[in-house]
Structure 1
């Protein structure tokens, strides 16, 4: 029986998800997808975002349960502008009886994704490129768990190179390598350009939100053996419409939202989940690294 972890990455426009296999070295990705949020262009609707993300999670959990697979945990990461929707989602998952749901900070998910790239002991940075925004996660030079996360609105991929050049060179957080993950065209060309401009190894990976979801899942994988209970019951019994009940409920998620905004989340259902938050990116995660951008190949998570 396979042991799996589900990772979710949520922005107001896109939901990325991956299923990672705990039973194989490096916790390879077995499946994943990026889902466009319905009516995303019409503006942000936190309840609708939570409802769609919950439906995605419910469908995946039901599929796994039907296969007889055991789900060790569900890791969720998010962008700042999706925090309200994620707070609603976490509350709904708890109400539905889903255990071992771990909120993972954006920077922590990005750092976990980049572990193992570059020379041994390197501190890589990660840039997530979406259609209208690029987000850079710079490592803590002291080796701590306080990455610097900055974002920049973009109108196209050409805007990314200049902004990254200035952002990486500024301050005392110059990384040893850079991973760029994106779902837009021209990523291989951007990688070559950045490697020339920054004079450091640059790795390119396709699927921005799918990659970030994988990073979230990786924060759970090393500690999955500590979980005493599986998600079998919750996965099989979580109705796809459970999130919709939030529309008729008072907004009791305010406390969770404040914790989300502050970067300290206590909505954890197990000791293993708490450990995964504390021990997250400061470890070596064995996983095949992406290909170097100099050979113009875009790496995708292993299936």
Structure 2
């Protein structure tokens, strides 16, 4: 019921280019440009100004984005109120999340919802190459289970802006804690740490090691950089892999060590050892469930959040 062209403007503000906006909204660039021209004509204001081959939002457009954010918040609240009149919970719930979150909480939560709410279709995606908050903003996902931003990436880290994972006070999103997951060191069987799996090691002892950037490149690598910085050193990252089988193969063949989340499915066929970390700083990966602010009261999303919390509680009761 809100002019959809306002959503296009919001996404352009987030993405920065017409091409990226079109991709996020599954439109063509010409359609995006046409919508914004129409919106500009409707308001009698210039919303875009050219900057080289790209465009940027005018001050009037930036003011309009603030109002649009408020309108979409009220719309989510209205949908939640109206959903209370529906007979039961039905429809579609789309959940996106990092791989270990799918393993640890999303899949068990979705299985619970499938049994309790057969009319609710739950769709799950990992989306490793996509900013999951952009999926929320564009309406392509309803819940995103992510690792929250702890601060700006260290200089020279190669990570993109902090906007890739908005801070917890971003007014467009509600972020609720779900699960805390310990981190281990994954080392080759013959490594100097391999015999200390019972007692553990301090992260500072790994200064000077070669490291593998393992798992989700944005989330897990951000945690590695932050944890090592707190321990007083910068990790020498030599290799990288997302799939944990590939990570384990690199570690087993002596190409480096890595931080491995407790939930990471490391194949047993590789001669690697998990070594717990001890002392301070102790890197712990926190998962949060993020939704568009105001949508958390809609029955499908509310039930989805409750199922995630229940699955996380069961896992923590089992010791991680």
Larger Rg: 2
The one of the two structures with greater contact order (alpha-carbon pairs below 8 A, sep at least 6) is: 1
Q: Structure 1 length as normaliser, TM-score?
A: 0.29
